[in-house]
C-alpha cells in the first residue's frame, strides 16, 4: 500500500537527466608505441624511434578485458563517448543517493505510522547506518 505518486522533485530532476540517451562507452583509450620485428631497425635500440602512435581501446566485458586497435581519427570520438559514460556513472551514483534518501523517508513514514498505531509502544529501530552498499 505504498503511494509512489509523490516523486521528490530532486529525484524527478535527476531521473530526467539520467535518461537522456547518448552514445557512450566504458573503457579507456591508450596510446602505444611499438617495436617492430626487424633486428636492424632503430626502434630496437631507441625508444623514441618506436613506431606509432597506435591507439588501443580497452574494455572490460563479462570479466574479461578486451583490447583492439582503433584509428587515430576515431580517438576524439571515443574519448567523448568514454567521457559521456563517466558522467553517466556519476549521475547514477547521485541518483542512487537521492533514491535512497527517498527510501529512508518512506521507511521513516511507515515507522511513524506504525508507532502511532501502537500508541506509545515504540519500536526503536536504530538510525540507518549510512550508505554502504555501492553498486556499479
Residues that bind Zn ion (CB under 5 A): 36, 41, 43
The number of angstroms, rounded, from the C-alpha of 17 to the middle of its chain's C-alpha atoms is 14
Q: Pick between residue 24 and residue 43 the one whose CB is nearest to Zn ion.
A: 43
CB of 42 vs Zn ion, minimal distance in Å: 7
Other beta carbons within 10 angstroms of residue 46's beta carbon come to 9
Other beta carbons within 10 angstroms of residue 14's beta carbon come to 19
CB of 45 vs Zn ion, minimal distance in Å: 10
CB of 52 vs Zn ion, minimal distance in Å: 10
The closest of 127, 113, 89, 98 to 15, measured between CA atoms, is 98
Q: Pick between residue 7 and residue 36 the one whose CB is nearest to Zn ion.
A: 36
Q: Pick between residue 43 and residue 78 the one whose CB is nearest to Zn ion.
A: 43
3-state SS assignment for residue 36: coil
Q: How far apart are CA 52 and CA 1, in angstroms?
A: 63
Q: How far apart are CA 9 and CA 14, in angstroms?
A: 9
Q: Output DSSP code: residue 118.
A: T
CB of 41 vs Zn ion, minimal distance in Å: 3
Q: Pick between residue 18 and residue 36 the one whose CB is nearest to Zn ion.
A: 36
Amino acid at each position: 500500500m505504498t503511494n509512489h505518486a509523490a516523486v521528490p522533485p530532486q529525484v524527478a530532476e535527476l531521473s530526467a537527466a539520467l535518461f537522456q540517451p547518448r552514445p557512450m562507452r566504458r573503457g579507456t583509450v591508450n596510446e602505444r608505441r611499438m617495436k617492430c620485428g626487424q633486428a636492424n631497425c632503430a626502434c630496437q635500440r631507441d625508444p623514441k624511434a618506436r613506431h606509432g602512435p597506435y591507439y588501443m581501446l580497452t574494455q572490460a566485458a563479462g570479466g574479461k578485458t578486451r583490447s583492439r586497435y582503433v584509428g587515430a581519427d576515431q580517438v576524439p570520438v571515443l574519448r567523448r563517448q568514454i567521457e559521456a559514460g563517466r558522467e553517466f556513472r556519476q549521475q547514477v551514483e547521485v541518483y542512487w543517493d537521492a533514491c535512497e534518501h527517498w527510501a529512508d523517508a518512506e521507511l521513516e513514514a511507515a515507522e511513524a505510522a506504525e508507532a502511532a498505531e501502537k500508541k506509545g509502544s515504540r519500536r526503536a529501530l536504530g538510525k540507518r547506518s549510512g550508505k554502504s552498499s555501492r553498486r556499479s
